[in-house]
Amino acid sequence: MRLRIVFINRSVINDSMTGLQNTARDISRPNIYRVVAATGFGILLGALDGSIVNVSLYTIATGFSVGMSEVQWIVVAYLLIITSLMPLMGKLGDRYGKAKVFQSGMLLFILGSFSCAISISLEILITSRIFQAIGASMMTANGLALVTYYTEPRNRGRAIGLSSMILAGALGLGPPLGGALTEFFGWPSIFLVNVPIGLVGLIVVWRWIPETKPIEEARFDTLGAGLFFGFLFVMIYLVSSYNKITIEQTLFMLLVFIILFILFIEREKRFDSPIIPINVLANKRISISIFTALLAYMSYIPISYLLAFYLQDALGLTQSITGIILITHPVIISFSGPMAGFIAERIDARIQTVIGLLIQALGITLLGFAIPNLPFIILSIAILGLGLSVFTVANNNFIMTSAPKEYLGVVSALSNLSRTSGFSIAIAAATTVFAMFMALFNPLGYTTGPEYIAAYSASFQMTSWFFIIFAIIASVMSIFRGKSPYEKVREEDRPVEVSLLDKPIMS
């Protein structure tokens, strides 16, 4: 008898076992493109409604015979509620099922939209917007969490890239669509358009996305939830209304914010099932990623907020031409998002995020030099949009891959919170900084003529360059974010275990 010794390559066994495990999981795992498409309805509704309303505020104010200071509450109320509730809705998704909360939010959003369309007074419209915001917070908080839950590290970047494409498309479509609907069908049509989209989305989510496994906890932290909502609400209101309240009111609200924040932290340390576990916030990978996202969105404010005023007030462009110029940004993100997701699956996030932030800083720098040359302004917008896309997709993929599975909803909500909070804080800062430069370059207070245009251009240029510092700080911080669990495994050239998300990750 001849004895044959066969040497088996261990990597082949590992690859085979991993393939069998993945095959078994894929039987019950929904197709990632279906997940992205289904959750995309929620992303589309929330983002579209956030951008479609602004262009119709003047028409709504005229229809209700109120001033712009009153009608602004249509936007402010929505922003306050959606920002303050997102982390709590993420927690509810973790606790009771992400798909269930997502679908409930979509239904509430549809009802709120219909109520907005039939509102007979500004008070009813604002109340209806609050219901819209509650529904939007439920969808926004759990959309990215669902994408993460039903994807693996090897395909998550592409899924998040496609989601960012939907988000950018909705943000870009909002202003021109809102203007056209208001002009031809009246302002109620900007809310009615949500109803058919939402109903289709509700059916698609119900058919395509199975329920996630709820996290079992002893009890819900009602007091912690109230404290968390309270300090976020005060913070966003303070930032949104800083120029409309007195110094005494500002100091009082700042004191209330600090007290509520301290009480929330102390509560979370002692409660057995906290809203946001302290160890999640202490995770360097998650905390740095969330903070760099906030800074990145702040540095984007010259495009998202100031440029529209400059193009119309200083250069005298019409609203439609301004909209066409500004749509450059979402178009670039729509094309670059999937590409950025493909890259995010193959290189470390700290490399891609730094590159994205530096491209973004380059775009802001060129924007300052470009004015008032429109072709170069459009080129600058495109470069800035590319940088933001490269950063955002890699950053979101990194955050969600580093998040413990039992807190995906909460971490997803905090990721979205960085976007809304970054915009809110930056708008307040941009308004103040621009006013300071305008006072410096226009000491005689011209309101028309070449002197006014020159002062406006110089003020816009200096304000834009001021916000470069946020992109630079974010890029430096990103260098020290570390590696995600998936990146560590990939670096060691071992088969990737999907169960990484099942284990809480500590730093």
**Domain spanning 30-218: which CATH class is it, in words?**
mainly alpha
**CA pair distance 75, 54, nearest whole angstrom:** 8
Is residue 368's pLDDT more than 70?
yes
| Mean pLDDT of the region 346-350 | 85
| Mean pLDDT of the region 174-186 | 80
The predicted structure's pLDDT at residue 125 = 93
Tell me which H or E stretch contains 203. helix 194-208
The predicted structure's pLDDT at residue 366 = 93
Q: Assign 217 a pLDDT band (cuts: 50, 70, 90).
A: low
DSSP 409-433: HHHHHHHHHHHHHHHHHHHHHHHHH
| Mean pLDDT of the region 296-312 | 82
Is residue 8's pLDDT more than 70?
no
Is residue 428's pLDDT more than 80?
no
The predicted structure's pLDDT at residue 70 = 78
The predicted structure's pLDDT at residue 506 = 42
Q: What is the pTM of this model?
A: 0.77
Higher pLDDT, 103 or 315: 103
| Mean pLDDT of the region 108-115 | 94
Q: Assign 493 a pLDDT band (cuts: 50, 70, 90).
A: low
Is residue 280's pLDDT more than 90?
no
Q: Which CATH architecture has domain 283-507?
A: Up-down Bundle (1.20)
Instruction: Name the residue ranges covered by the structural domains of the chain.
Output: 30-218, 221-272, 283-507
First to last CA, the chain: 57
Asked if residues 105 and 58 have their Cβ atoms less than 8 Å apart, the reply is: no
| Mean pLDDT of the region 49-74 | 78
Inter-helix orientation angle 153-185/319-326, to 10°: 170
- Using alpha carbons only, what angle is made at residue 462 by residues 459 and 464, rounded to the nearest 5 degrees? 105
**CA pair distance 207, 232, nearest whole angstrom:** 35
The predicted structure's pLDDT at residue 383 = 92
What is the residue-averaged pLDDT of the chain?
81
